[in-house]
A = this chain, B = another copy of it.
């Protein structure tokens, strides 16, 4: 997605050790016009699948997911990163975060993810794939079908895409980055 890659080159900040900051337009401050274009691109990639619901995870996945849901006129469920006391029928899974070096629980209500649901999962980043694998577990526990996964940015030098390949579903990333260094960003072809 050229528009996105150009924006990453213009406004993204990269650092030694594979670090990319896109908090001026994706995950702290967000550009809603770009999010709409990202939604349209996800329609191009997933619009042929018989999905009835979009699934994402708080907080940075919500903006692209709601745009995709709006365009496809489908409900959007966001998985929570903390288990609320007041919620019933919760399903949970554990995710290990390398960045934070700790394990956290993610959860979703069975009321909104059921064996009748055929979903696509949308998130901002694919890196080591741990969060995505946790989401896959949760969707499996719910008995729902995961038909595809879409990410705004993929760090293709990390193992996420490789791990997700075993799920045998389309994994789509709108910008695949193969190298991040001090002030240097290189995309896959």
Which residues on A are within 8 Å of B, measured CB to CB?
Answer: 23-25, 28-33, 35-36, 58-59, 62-63, 66-67, 69-70, 73-78, 80, 85-87, 99-100, 108-109, 111-112
Which residues of chain B come closer than 8 Å to A67, judged between CB atoms? 32, 66, 70
Instruction: From known contacts A23-B87, A59-B62, A59-B78, infer whether A32 and B69 are also in contact, taking CB-CB under 8 Å.
Output: yes
Using CB atoms, name the residue of chain B closest to A53: B29
Using known A-B contacts A58-B58, A59-B80, A86-B99, determine if residue A66 contacts B23 with beta carbons closer than 8 Å: no
Chain B residues within an 8 Å CB radius of A108: 28
Measured CA separation A184–B67 after assembly (Å): 33
Q: What chain B residues lie within 8 Å of A59 (beta carbons)?
A: 58-59, 62, 78, 80
Known contacts A59-B62, A70-B36; decide if A29 and B76 are in contact (CB<8 Å): yes
Q: Are B78 and A30 in contact (CB under 8 A)?
A: yes
Which listed residue, B25, B35, B70, B87, touches A35 by the CB 8 Å rule? B70
**Candidates B25, B29, B69, B109; contact of A23 at CB < 8 Å:** B109
Least CB distance from A169 to B in Å reads: 22
Docked-complex contact B29 and A80, CB < 8 angstroms: no
Q: Which 6 A-B pairs have the closest CB atoms?
A: A58-B59, A32-B70, A32-B69, A29-B112, A62-B62, A59-B59
A-B contact pairs, 19 of them (CB 8 A): A23-B87, A23-B112, A24-B111, A24-B112, A25-B75, A28-B77, A28-B78, A29-B77, A29-B111, A30-B75, A30-B76, A32-B66, A32-B73, A32-B74, A35-B66, A59-B59, A59-B62, A66-B67, A67-B70
